[in-house]
Amino acid sequence: MEIEKARIVVDGLKEAGINFTVGLPDSQFHEVYEQILQDPSLKYVGAGNEAEGASIAMGAWFGGKKPALIIATSGLLVATFSLARLHLKEVPLLVLIPYRGDLGDPRWMGIYKQFVEPMLNSMDIPYKIVSRKDEIKQTIADCQICAEAWLKPVAVLVTGEALW
């Protein structure tokens, strides 16, 4: 991801009121993590795996923070049970995922495309796919509003021109 696009993602998180981020860095969002670490208004906690990250985010919400979970596409599979628990506990959580395997992916990662949307649907996690960089901030804001109103995780899948 280009630095300019990473900055848009981080600005979008901040404008949506996110003040606590959890993640397990991946190569697609490497620049996003770098920007978060340099921003004093965002707390970042690294997790040992994505399931642990979802649990940390849940604890942050109970502690009065507005968390976002930033995970790799493959990490969605690892975090499945923990994300399902968040839904049962009525915890709003923005989940930000680089959507590998979608059209435009420079490497074929079709297996991710095969499972990501069905997994989100089976967990009743609404999601929005953002494929243009000029849609990033508004999509993050819209999804955060929904997560808070519905008290459940909502995912943003970043793909296409917004990612590559």
Domains present along the chain, CATH in parentheses: 3-163 (3.40.50.970)
Q: How many whole angstroms separate alpha carbon 80 and alpha carbon 133?
A: 27
Categorize the per-residue pLDDT at 112 as very low, low, confident or very high, splitting at 50, 70 and 90. confident
- Among 29-43, 52-66, 92-106, 120-134, which stretch is predicted with the lowest mean pLDDT? 92-106
pLDDT at 106 > cutoff 80 = no
Q: How many whole angstroms separate alpha carbon 106 and alpha carbon 53?
A: 27
- In this prediction, residues 69-88 reach a mean pLDDT of 87
Give the pLDDT confidence of 113-162 residue by residue, as tens digits.
889 999 999 999 999 999 999 999 999 999 999 999 999 999 999 998 89
- In this prediction, residues 95-110 reach a mean pLDDT of 83
- In this prediction, residues 49-76 reach a mean pLDDT of 95
Both tokens of 100, joined, read: 């590998």
CA within 13 Å, CB half, 16: 31
